[in-house]
Amino acid sequence: MAMAGRQTVVHFAAESHVDRSIYDPAPMIETNVTGTFVLLQIARRLHVEKFVHVSTDEAYGDLPPGTFAAEDSEDSLVQPSSPYSASKASSDLIVRSYVRTFGLPAIITRASNNYGPFQHPEKFLPLMIASALDDKPLPIYGDGKQERNWLHVQDHCRGILAVLERGRIGEVYNIGGADVVENLTMARRLLRATGKPQSLISHVADRPGHDRRYALNCEKIQRELGWKPTISLDDGLRQTIEWHRSYTKWLTEVRGGHYRTYYQKYYENRGSSLHAITESGRKPTSYLARAIPQPRKATTYSPRTSVLFLRGKNASRKPQAARTIRHRQRRLLHRSLGDQIPAAITRLRRNPRLVFQQRRSHESGSPACQLGARFHAELAQ
């Protein structure tokens, strides 16, 4: 066990790309929520002396223009917008619950947008720098007016160390940079720094639910722990650009294979990818009535014995969806649903499975049974 014999734990591990969380939310929940829970359980069992949970400014959600999120302000509640930020906000709350309920000596940090060496090229700044150096278009989401608070990774690490050494148990500390810059302005700044033409800027379809502003008030960590950022944005960008020019081999390896497929799908074919997402969320409230045709009269099906629910990630597509359903119910499911299964259901998990389960009398008020009753009512119309 990696944590055995350790006095302190700094929990960095996370799935952290917003776009990936939109296209496939499941890994975010599994890693960021369940993964944090597992670490907390082990830390509690091993009596770890201090547990620092590294989180994000995105937990605060979209801020009004000109405002800054403060850790202890009633105006800065946790209001995440994306599956990624929701998973991080959820893990934050679980950490706080372990402090209060079990006395776990934990602290939470929330940092602004990081940049610096060895950052994955799917992130905004590495993507912009790499695209500029390769004379490729710089994809800017929407109008590019989204504001971000930029923090060099070295300053972030110094802030985490300050929290680890001197932070108060149960507290939240914001760790943010000194500059809040629009994405479009940042892209133009990078093009000037790399000597590339402004014509490389290419506006693409915006991200669904894209937050307009992130900005952190960092007075608490400055006042209590004496931390403040030391690397200016100009110096940090210059260092990062030079790093990209020097580490071309590493970048080539990272940008091959899986990343190449990712880039083609979500940038080169962005329109169709986003269309699939937005359309899956536009089903009417009574989507079952529109999606499911009436069953044939010869079908015998009792609404008192079964409910419809989703389970697991082992099954695959519709031809195998009824693998665990009793034989006499399979034909009903496929004849009733066929290719009409709502996309919102099929995308709920990467590999959803439709299963019928016996309903017990004491479960009649459960959400699953209510969904089942609704399904039966739609079929009976």
Q: Is 259 a catalytic residue?
A: no
Q: Is 134 a catalytic residue?
A: no
Residue with the bigger pLDDT between 307 and 283: it is: 283
Which candidate in 15, 58, 92, 171 is catalytic? 58
Over residues 154-191, the pLDDT tens digits come to 999 999 999 999 999 999 999 999 999 999 999 999 99
Which candidate in 60, 84, 115, 267 is catalytic? 84
User: Is a pLDDT exceeding 70 seen at residue 198?
Assistant: yes
Angle at 220 between CA 216 and CA 224, to 5 degrees: 150
CA distance 286 to 149: 42
CA distance 248 to 251: 5
**Is the sign of the CA dihedral 208, 214, 220, 226 positive or negative?**
positive
Q: What is the average pLDDT value for the chain, to the nearest integer?
A: 79
Using CB atoms within 10 Å of the CB of residue 295, give its burial: 0 to 12 exposed, 13 to 18 middle, 19+ buried. Answer: middle
**pLDDT at residue number 260:** 66
> Of the given ranges (71-80, 337-346, 372-381), which has the lowest mean pLDDT?
337-346
CB atoms within 10 A of CB 37: 15
Which candidate in 19, 57, 92, 171 is catalytic? 57
On whether the CB atoms of residues 53 and 43 are closer than 8 A, the answer is no
**pLDDT at residue number 277:** 63
> Of the given ranges (144-148, 169-173, 307-311), which has the lowest mean pLDDT?
307-311
Over residues 46-57, the pLDDT tens digits come to 999 999 999 999
**pLDDT at residue number 77:** 87
Residue with the bigger pLDDT between 286 and 367: it is: 367
Mean pLDDT of 34-44: 96
* Domain spans in the chain, listed from the N-terminal domain onward: 8-279, 287-380
- The matching CATH number, chosen from 3.40.50.720, 3.40.50.80, 3.20.19.10, 2.40.50.140, for 8-279 is 3.40.50.720
Mean pLDDT of 308-335: 43
**pLDDT at residue number 74:** 64
Q: Is 253 a catalytic residue?
A: no
